[in-house]
Structures are given as C-alpha cells and as structure tokens.
Structure 1
Amino acid sequence: MGRPSRRADALSRERIIAAAITILDTEGERALTFRTLAATLATGPGAIYWHVANKKELLAAATDALVAEATGAGPTRATPHERIRRVALGLFDTIDAHPWIGSQLSQEPWQLASMRIVEALGRPLDDLEVPAERHFHVVTALASYVLGAAAQNAANARHAPRDTDRDTALSAIARQWAELDEAEFPFVRRIAAQLPGHDDREQFLAGIDLVLGGITRE
C-alpha cells in the first residue's frame, strides 16, 4: 500500500483548526488525535506540531475560532439589549451546532474564548449605565446563564437517541409530569401542558430578557 498523497497547498493553522472542528463535530473529542488529523489533512503529525503544540492548544484554538465568529460585531445602531441578545443567541446556536464547546469552556474557564464572551456581553453594560463596581458580578451572572443554558440544551439533544422525535418525547414527559401527585407537585402539573412544542431558542431568550430586566431595574 502506498503512502497517502500530500496536499499540494500549504498547511496553515487555519486549515488545521477547520479540520479539527470537523472531526470534533462528527466523531467527538476522543477521535481528535494528531494521527487522525494528519490523515485528514494528508500530511505528517510533525507538520501539525509546527503550528499547534498539543491537543489542549488545538481544542482551545478551535473553540476560540467558533466563539469569535459567534460574538463578532453586529449592527452598529443596535440597542444594548439587542447587542446582548444577539451575542447570547449566537453562542446558543454555536454550542447547539458544536456541543463539545460547552465542555471545553467549562474545563478551561479563563481561556481566550471565555474572555471574548465576557467582552462581548460586558461592553453593552456601559450603555445600560450599570455602575462600574457592579460590572464583574453582572457580566459573570449573564455569562453563566448563557453558557449554562446553551450547554444544557446541547447536552439534551446529544443524549437523546438519534431516532427520537422531539415532539413525541416531550409529550411523553409532559404526561409524566401531569400524573405527578397533585399535593406534592402542583406547579409542575400546571406547566406540563406548556412543555410539548415549546421553542428552545424562545425559552432561552426569555431567560435573557429576565436577566436584562433585572439589570435595568438595578
């Protein structure tokens, strides 16, 4: 068997990161090795090490590339609330499409990608006239909600069997809620009917609006 042909175009850090993202999306973090990456790029592991020192750096770079895209500049005339909602929803959709980002951010909470998130969510606080001494608590609370809700949503989808119909599954859960003891779970029984058919993105944005409402009142 002959050796795999080498790519004629120059190997770059950007190409390596793009290939890593594809492997992470399709096969998961365990499948991402420099050997697998080298085979995908038709090169040798040594050529990859020239651009990326190790797997930890590669994961951080892949996460940063996607987060940078999600938190990039939006409409210049957007209100502070609109800017925060845009960033939050961009991160929600990005983590939904690339579930491994959630675990990567939690394992390395102060990496560059996390700083991009804090920066994008924090800048509008000046326009909302949040006192400077409250910035740290406010932006970390906001970021915690965004990343926690987005990661949980992605985990729910990832752990469900591939052939699961969402509406059917939620209807089954709703029936279980509705059959709980009325004396012990009156509230859960009341909201059971709202579970099937709800929109995950609308649910997420409702939480963002609650946080923003609290920020504004404060």
Structure 2
Amino acid sequence: MNKKTAPRARRDDMLSRERIIDAAIDLLDREGERGLTFQALSAQLATGPGAIYGHIANKADLLTAACDAIVARAVASPSDDATPQAAIRALALALFDAMDDHPWAGATLIQAGGQMPVVRILERVGQQISALGVPQAAHWAGASAVVNYILGVSGQNAANAQLARSQKADRDTFLAEVAIAWSRLDPAQYPFTRSVAGQLRGHDDREDFLAGVDLLLAGLVSQAQIS
C-alpha cells in the first residue's frame, strides 16, 4: 500500500503555488473561466484537490493569482532612458497584448479592484505620472483615468475577439456589415456615426488604443506644464 501511495506523495511534494498558477493559466487559455475547475486542474497536475487547496484558497483566489502572474510579466520596469510618456505607452501596449493573448484576464482584472494585479498597474502608471511633473493633487485622478482606460479598452477588445472566435466570425466581414448598416442610418439623427462608418471598416484596434493613450498623455503633460 505504501508503494502505491508513494508516487502521488512525491508529486505533491513538488507542487508549488507557482506551478499551480502556471497550470491554471494554461487551462484558462484553452478552456476559459468555465473550464477552470479544481477537478480539471488536479487532473492536469496529476495530484489531488487537497494538495491544491494547500496552496490556493478557492477559485477566486486562483483566478486573481493567475491574472497577477500575467500582469507581473507585462509590467516589467521601463528602461532607464525611457521618457514617462514612452514608459506609459509601452506599459499600456504590453497589457493590451497580454489581455489579447489571455482574454479571460480582462474580466478578472475588472473584478480584482484593489487587489495586487490592479495595484501593480496603478503603481507603474503612478510612478510615471509623478515623473511627468503632474501636480500631486492630480495624481489620483490622472492615474485612475489611465488605468481605467487601459483595463476597459483592453478588456473589451479581448472580449470582442473571444466572442468572434466562439462564433467563427470573420473580423473584416463583420466590420464591413456594420459599416454598411451605419452608412444607412438617418443622417439627421446620426450624422457623426454615418461620417465615421468608412473608418470603422478598416480601423486597427491596437492603433486606436494607443491613440487614446496619447490623448490622455497629452492632457497629463498639459497639467504638468501649467503647474
């Protein structure tokens, strides 16, 4: 009987929080949040649920930890010679790409307000806003605006891509159909939407995202110059 239980014991001994989180990320990427169960994770790690519970309290804890690992990889410190604007742009783009690669992370981040994944992002953004020379009184508002923009737009983009994949929808075809529908709207009621219908057809999500970041940065730089 001891010989039969020894292999499982050795596997459990090698189990770590980091290994569990890496396996959870792999499972989330393949199956989505619904597919992340302790039973599925136990099977992937060749261990029992009890061994996992020794490192992870529950599914919410696991999701937050997995999201934190993704964020930690994306928010590496900027190079010493990077300007604050360049550092914020690089951080924003890294997070945009991370959520595009791991679509489940966007929703998890939104639900993790005040927890470590969001704190990591807030800290990195806040340091650069301070380096820009933005007045202390405006630090919170400025950092909040940038962080909320990054999380909101990146998360929505990832959700849109995930929905398109699940429906096997072609992006170009979908955008062309929407653009045609917009161009047929009542010009008296929807003059702006009709005017940008053509731009919708060929827009680049990444470029649009960075354009929004640049608009926020322009406002922050203006505040710094006024002070």
Q: Report the TM range for the smaller structure's normalisation.
A: over 0.9
> What's the CA shift string for 1:103-122, capped at 9, x where partnerless?
11222201101000000111
Of the three residues 87, 93, 97, the one matched with 2:91 is: 87
Counterpart pick for 1:68 among 72, 79, 90: 72
> Which residue is 1:56 aligned to?
60
Structure 1 runs (4+) deviating above 3 angstroms are 5-9
- Please, which moves more after superposition, 5-14 or 157-166? 5-14
Q: How far apart are residue 97 of structure 1 and its match?
A: 1.3
Q: Deviations over 1:92-134 (max 9, x none)?
A: 1111111211211222201101000000111011221001111
Letter in 2 for 1:65: A
1:137 matched residue in structure 2: 141
Residue in 2 that maps onto 1:183: 188
- Counterparts of 2:112 and 2:77 in 1: how far apart (Å)? 24
Q: Which residue is equivalent to 2:125?
A: 121
Alignment gaps of 5+ in structure 1: none
Q: Identify the match of residue 27 of structure 1 among 10, 24, 31.
A: 31
Cross-structure match for 1:156: 160
Quick check: 1:195 aligned with 2:200? yes
Q: CA deviation at 1:74?
A: 2.7
Measure, in 1, the Cα distance between the counterparts of 2:204 and 2:36.
Answer: 33
Q: State how far apart, in whole Å, the 1-side matches of 2:168 and 2:159 are.
A: 16
| CA distance in structure 2 between the aligned counterparts of 1:73 and 1:181, rounded to whole angstroms | 49
Secondary structure of the structure 1 residue equivalent to 2:114: coil
Picking from 58, 77, 82, the partner of 2:81 is 77
Q: Distance in 1 between matches of 2:167 and 2:29?
A: 15
Q: Unaligned regions of 5+ residues in structure 2, if any?
A: none
Displacement of 1:15 after TM fit?
Answer: 1.1
The percent identity for this pair of structures is: 52
Deviation at 1:163, TM superposition (A): 2.3
Distance 1:21 1:86 in 2: 23
- Superimposed CA distance per residue, residues 127-159 of structure 1 (whole angstroms, 9 cap, x where no aligned partner): 210011111111011111110011111111122
Secondary structure in structure 2 of the residue aligned to 1:184: coil
2:196 partner SS:
helix
Cα deviations by residue, 1:2-31 (Å, 9 ceiling, x for unpaired): 99x757581121110011011111112122
Equivalent-residue separation in structure 2 for 1:34 and 1:211 (angstroms): 41
> Greater helix percent: which structure?
2
Aligned length: 216
